[in-house]
Amino acid sequence: MNTQEETNFERIEAAINYISRNFKTQPDLDEIAESVHLSPFHFQRLFTEWAGVSPKKFLQYLTVEHAKGILRDKQYSLFDTAYDSGLSGTGRLHDLFVHIEGMTPGEFKTGGNLLLINYSFAQTPFGQVLVASTAIGICYMAFAEDTLTAFQQLEKRFPNAVFKQLTDTIQQNALHIFGQDWSHLKQIKLHLKGTPFQLKVWETLLKIPSGQLTTYGQIAAGVGAAGSSRAVGTAIGMNPVAFLIPCHRVIQSSGAFGQYHWGADRKSAMIGWESALAEKERQNILPYDGEVFYYGSQFSIADAQSFFAILLEDIEWQPDEAIIFGKHIYTKRKAAWYGDKAFQYTYSKTTKIAKAWTPALLVLKHHVEAQTGQKFNSCLLNLYHDGQEGMAWHSDDEKSLGKDTCIASLSFGAIRKFAFKHKTTGEYVYLMLESGSLLVMQGTTQTHWLHRLPPTVKVKTPRINLTFRTMLDQG
């Protein structure tokens, strides 16, 4: 007997199928609801509970135009490798949580001889799955319309293994990835049978952030096999772990979603569901009088470390200077100023002249612009050697930045606390900035709020912060 959750997804899937077949006529809510035998009211409620957004909003995520927009925004990445930079609007990167370990040659060749595999069935937002695990990690996950057929497919993959129907802690942890809160998700280990090329492709798929899309050609470039889209497509089609290895995020270069081993409608449902979640996560962290959005980590751990090393080496760092009571004060913290041209930027009664962009800064600038939809012409960088170096309460409200300016802040290195305080009410808000994260301050934030990076003795490692700004024309 189907559970209510499974029945609900079947209706969602049927609605998506109806929309796909009738997209030229653009069916309205009443027509879509009728196709799944629900009243418009009940269908709207069902859909909103499942997706977190209305059907009308959800449909926008399924358009070719939306997909093309995502692909267009993803053209910038570290060293021109398609997904080494893990560009993300939300930071929900599978490669931060999922680790692949290949089976030994013996396990591979013998069809899992002597392997003990636990398996169980579970409900997800996209239907029932069969999930299987060895003592090392998850070895298989597939959507299961029929439990007997699903188990037979598992047996076929490991013909010599010993199977036991048992829900273990490895499976329970892995299933948490279907939830909307990953804050308590432990690392998921995958114990996979595959060729070296297949394993390389699957590892690359982990770098596609939730809510984002890529193409077969970009994955081919990412594994160093440009021009081998067909071979990459075959490897993707052999993915043995649904959703955990997010092959559903790979689409055609035209923007069409294409086929999926577990059903094209399910693929559309996943893409729309993740897009809605990504937009939902971008919530204003200020209670009033301003707009601050935290996008989380934008890069894989490896690329965040690479950018930190490049910036540390290539930027022309200088001790920051301020004039206090007529005296020139030089800080241990170092700073640098870069831009489209030799902008002059005055703060703390000192003036800095912008230097020309470095290649790494241009990559980061283009990425931030793609994520925010804003254009920036300059960047102030700060190097904090450890937690004892911070920044006092201030606002970036200089006349040269204009009124209600947008400032995008990237952080690399040590995780640091960042705080806001309302100028009138004194209300206090703070968050932790992780390495590779993007924070955007806009609207009336600088008019009504102060911000600071408080010092702390607990942090012993350095941090680099980049604040991208738009300087007014200085003539």
The lowest-confidence range among 90-94, 226-230, 314-318, 344-348 is 90-94
- Domain formed by 3-110, architecture: Orthogonal Bundle (1.10)
- Domain formed by 116-187, architecture: 2-Layer Sandwich (3.30)
The whole-number average pLDDT for the span 387-400 is 91
The whole-number average pLDDT for the span 162-171 is 95
Instruction: Label residues 400-419 b or e (16+ Cβ within 10 Å = b).
Output: bbeeebbbbbbbbbbebbbe
Give SS3 for 425: coil
Which superfamily, per CATH, for 291-469? Alpha-ketoglutarate-dependent dioxygenase AlkB-like (2.60.120.590)
Q: Which amino acid is at 169?
A: T
**pLDDT tens digits for 297-350?**
777 677 889 999 999 999 999 987 665 666 667 778 999 999 998 887 766 566
For 329, which DSSP code? Answer: E
The ranges assigned to domains in the chain are 3-110, 116-187, 196-282, 291-469
| CA 182 – CA 415 distance, rounded (Å) | 18
Q: CB neighbours of 229 closer than 8 A, spacing ≥ 6?
A: 216, 217, 220
Q: Which of 65-79, 221-235, 437-451 has the largest mean confidence?
A: 437-451
Give SS3 for 233: helix
**pLDDT tens digits for 54-82?**
887 788 788 887 777 767 654 434 223 33
CA proximity to 80, closest of 221, 256, 291, 262: 221
The whole-number average pLDDT for the span 278-283 is 72
The lowest-confidence range among 34-38, 313-317, 336-340, 370-374 is 370-374
| CA 135 – CA 333 distance, rounded (Å) | 48
The whole-number average pLDDT for the span 108-129 is 86
On the question of pLDDT at 237 being above 50, the answer is yes
For residue 168, what pLDDT band results from cuts at 50, 70 and 90?
very high
Instruction: Label residues 47-66 b or e (16+ Cβ within 10 Å = b).
Output: beebbebebebbbebbeeeb
- pLDDT for residue 81: 31
* Average pLDDT value over all residues in the chain: 85
| The pairing of beta strand 416-422 with beta strand 449-453 | antiparallel
Residues in the chain, overall count: 475
Q: In this structure, what token pair is assigned to residue 341? A: 């041209």
The alpha carbon torsion through 257, 259, 264, 266 (nearest 10 deg) reads -80
On the question of pLDDT at 187 being above 90, the answer is no
| CA 424 – CA 36 distance, rounded (Å) | 53
For 383, which DSSP code? Answer: E
Strand pairing partners for 327? Answer: 324
CATH topology of domain 196-282: Arc Repressor Mutant, subunit A (1.10.10)
Q: How large a percentage of the chain has pLDDT more than 90? A: 51
Q: Do domains 3-110 and 196-282 have the same CATH topology?
A: yes
On the question of pLDDT at 167 being above 90, the answer is yes
The whole-number average pLDDT for the span 430-439 is 92
- pLDDT for residue 322: 64
| CA 250 – CA 258 distance, rounded (Å) | 9
- pLDDT for residue 325: 60
